[in-house]
Amino acid sequence: MPLFDSLYNFAGWLTGNREEAEDLVQETYLKALKGFSSFQQGTNFRAWIFRILRNAFLTSRTGLQAMRTVPLESDDEETAVVSATMDTPESILLGRASQEAIQAALEKLPVIFREVLLLCDVEEMSYQEISETVSIPIGTVMSRLYRARRAMREEL
């Protein structure tokens, strides 16, 4: 499945929930397969499928989706991240605190800033690809990216 890891990562950052991210990626692939005839050969496939994911996310967040999913199993336990290197307890604690601070700051950003920041800095998309994915001009991409980074700096 092309771009699965990138799509899942982006969905995870958008939703903040593993189960919702899995559902969102599954829905994205389903919609992409159903609508593959609308994909124009020679255009940017990555931007096309990320746009499908984004639209599915926005649709699920605006109440247009009638039914919300409920997980069958409850994951109350935190999953421990096992490091490949020998970390000290202090470095592990500082790393977790940094990750939690970044996650909290990202969650405070409005979706329009968060998605541009994630597509650029995490998914390493070009401004042109982000512009195609989010359906906004490149100047707006640069403006939103600047504002998102400024808000993150202020929050952190």
Determine the Cα–Cα distance for residues 85 and 64; give it in Å rounded to an integer.
46
The CATH number linked to 27 is 1.10.1740.10
- pLDDT value at 131 more than 70: yes
Instruction: pLDDT band for 13, please (50, 70, 90 cuts).
Output: confident
Given a contact cutoff of 8 angstroms between Cβ atoms, the answer to whether 26 and 20 are in contact is: no
Last residue of a domain, one of 70, 103, 131: 70
| Nearest by Cα to 82 from 72, 92, 90, 73 | 92
Q: What is the pLDDT of residues 29-55, one digit of tens each?
A: 999 889 888 888 888 888 888 989 988
CATH classification of the domain holding 126 = 1.10.10.10
- Dihedral over Cα of 55, 61, 66, 67: its sign: positive
State the residue range of the domain holding 4.
1-70
Percent of the chain with pLDDT over 90: 21
pLDDT of residue 119 exceeding 50: yes
What would the mean pLDDT of 54-68 be, rounded to a whole number?
A: 65
